[in-house]
Structure 1
Amino acid sequence: MQLLICYETHDRTAFRAAHGETRERRDQAGLTQLQLWEEAEAPNRLWALYGVSDRDKAEAWLAEKSSLSSQLSGLDSHFLATA
């Protein structure tokens, strides 16, 4: 299973720094970052793809307030399964 997240940020550079600092917490939630993209037409919108080893932990991670919260104006997430 994968988790695709669209992060709407206030400042792409500050978000990327905060995102890097939260790696340990994502690891504890069973998430492995597979890819991080910056949207070409909207530079403050980033997309992340994570491998998910435990959906319950991943959902808890999404629900908690993290150090990323102050960097975000929005977040849209989708759990995906290989078809």
Structure 2
Amino acid sequence: MQLLTHHIPAAYDEWKREFDAETETRMNAGLTLLQLWQDVDDSGVTALYKVNDRKKAEDWLKRERQTSGPLESRFLRTA
């Protein structure tokens, strides 16, 4: 299972520093970052994760939404 997220940070550089500092937190939430994309035309960022534990990932998403601002997410599986 994968998780696709889309963030719209106010300032990309600041967001990226915080994102990098939270690597261990995401790993503890059962997430492995597979790919990170930055939108070409705005400050949006899309991330693709491998989900090792959906419950932990859902708990992480709740915390992220409370502390990191707007965040869209979708759990996916290969069809």
For the superposition of Structure 1 and Structure 2, which TM-score range results when normalised by the shorter chain?
A: over 0.9
Structure-2 change in CA distance of 1:26 and 1:12 (3 Å): same
More strand by share: 1
Give ranges in structure 1 of 5+ residues lacking alignment: none
Q: Per-residue displacement from partner, 1:54-81 (whole Å, max 9, x unpaired)?
A: 0000000001158x62xx4x11000001
2:20 matches 1:20: yes
Aligned residues between the structures: 78
Give ranges in structure 2 of 5+ residues lacking alignment: none
CA RMSD of aligned residues (A): 1.4
SS in 2 for 1:64: helix
Aligned residue in 2 for 1:32? 32
Aligned residue in 1 for 2:62? 63
More helix by share: 2
Tell me, in whole angstroms, the C-alpha distance in 2 between the residues paired with 1:53 and 1:65.
18
With normalisation by structure 1, the TM-score equals 0.88
Aligned residue in 2 for 1:78? 74
Ranges of 4+ aligned residues in structure 1 off by more than 2 Å = none
Quick one: percent identity of the two aligned structures?
41
